[in-house]
């Protein structure tokens, strides 16, 4: 296949700089790469033309020959060898791997990336505490050539939807090429007590009326076990108290916080003595606490 006029293929004017050629190629290659357009023959053909055009314009000798004679006089050897190109043979090369090799210090001069096997994707469900503390667990995967069980290390602090890449555990590649990678998608189960928001852990903790009013030192659950917490006097339902460094691990090695949300419990007045105490308390408290609210609502 011929790339035609490489300048037109890449949308460039004659005399475009090397940087402009490189930028145009990167943009178009991303757009028409077979991994992005699976099954799209037109995109596949366009990608071939883009690759050949880049091979010509990125090679000073081929570019000079084209500028002078309208042809390189020979099949381009840089860039991608598009002879025998087909989507099945190329599908093993991931788009990220492709550009890492093309533009991140791979084959000098835009040489062809190494072929490899296709990726394998698997989902792994883990518990809330496992996500916080990390774990090693067996995972059964299906690859070409039979089922396999491997050990997977889950780092502490992963979140729901995290994707882990395990190199070399994808489908086998063509003879003489490496296998693809395994991509593990983490699904984290909900917890009955804790809720995670970012790197902070939230937990609702009930307290009595007397503890909220007078203040108290109580034990509260954390992801590391029970911890002591001082409740300030005059606390209200819904008030938040922070426990520093008791949240989820962060990527930088630190930890978030645990946020305790206080829930003040209404006393059970089924017992006569409790009812009498509450009636006495009612007489001691300021009367009509809603009068000011009602007055402001009429303004």
- Of 72, 103, 134, which residue constitutes the final position of a domain? 103
DSSP 196-235: EETTEEEEEEEE-HHHHHH-EEEEEEETTEEEEEEEPTT-
User: From residue 43, how far is each of 28, 40, 96, 115 by CA, in Å?
Assistant: 10, 5, 18, 20
206 within some domain = yes
- Of 139, 161, 188, which residue constitutes the final position of a domain? 188
Q: Answer yes or no: is pLDDT of 222 > 90.
A: yes
- Of 75, 103, 131, which residue constitutes the final position of a domain? 103
* Tens digit of each residue's pLDDT (9 = 90 or more) over 118-146: 889 999 999 999 999 999 999 999 887 78
CATH of the domain at 156: 2.60.260.20
The three-class DSSP label of residue 15 is coil
Domain containing 39 equals: 6-103
* Lowest-pLDDT range of 79-88, 239-248, 279-288: 79-88
89 with 14, same domain: the answer is: yes
Q: Answer yes or no: is pLDDT of 105 > 90.
A: no
Give the number of other Cβ atoms within 10 Å of residue 164's Cβ: 16
* Tens digit of each residue's pLDDT (9 = 90 or more) over 23-40: 999 899 888 887 778 778
Residues 6+ apart with CB under 8 A from 111: 78, 79
Q: pLDDT category, 253, cuts 50, 70, 90? A: confident
Instruction: Please count the structural domains in the chain.
Output: 3
Q: pLDDT category, 104, cuts 50, 70, 90? A: very low
291 within some domain = no
Q: How far is the C-alpha of 290 from the C-alpha of 299, rounded, in Å? A: 15
Q: Answer yes or no: is pLDDT of 292 > 60.
A: yes
Query: 0.75 cut: is pTM over it?
Result: no
44 with 95, same domain: the answer is: yes
């Amino acid at each position: 296949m011929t790339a035609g006029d490489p300048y037109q293929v890449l949308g460039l004017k004659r005399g475009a700089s090397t940087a402009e050629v490189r930028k145009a190629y990167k943009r178009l290659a991303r757009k028409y790469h077979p991994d992005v357009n699976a099954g799209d023959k037109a995109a596949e053909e366009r990608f071939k033309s883009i690759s050949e055009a880049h091979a010509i314009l990125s090679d000073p000798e081929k570019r000079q020959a084209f500028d002078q004679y309208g042809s390189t006089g020979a099949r381009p050897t840089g860039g991608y060898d598009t002879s025998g190109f087909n989507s099945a043979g190329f599908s093993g090369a991931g788009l990220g791997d492709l550009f890492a090799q093309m533009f991140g210090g791979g084959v000098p001069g835009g040489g062809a990336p190494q072929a490899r096997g296709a990726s394998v994707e698997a989902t792994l469900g883990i518990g809330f505490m496992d996500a916080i503390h990390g774990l090693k667990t067996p995972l059964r995967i299906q690859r070409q050539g039979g089922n396999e069980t491997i050990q997977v290390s889950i780092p502490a602090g992963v979140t729901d939807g995290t994707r882990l890449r395990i190199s070399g555990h994808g489908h086998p590649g063509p003879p003489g090429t490496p296998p693809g990678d395994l991509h593990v998608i983490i699904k984290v189960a909900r917890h009955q007590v804790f809720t995670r928001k970012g790197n902070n852990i939230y937990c609702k903790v009930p307290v009595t009326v007397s503890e909220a009013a007078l203040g108290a030192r109580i034990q509260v659950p954390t992801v590391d076990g029970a911890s002591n917490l001082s409740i300030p006097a005059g606390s209200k339902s819904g008030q938040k108290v922070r426990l520093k460094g008791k949240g989820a691990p962060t990527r930088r090695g630190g930890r978030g916080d645990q946020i305790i949300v206080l829930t003040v419990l209404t006393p059970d007045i089924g017992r006569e003595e409790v009812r009498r105490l509450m009636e006495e308390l009612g007489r001691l408290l300021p009367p009509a606490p809603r009068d000011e609210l009602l007055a402001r609502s009429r303004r």
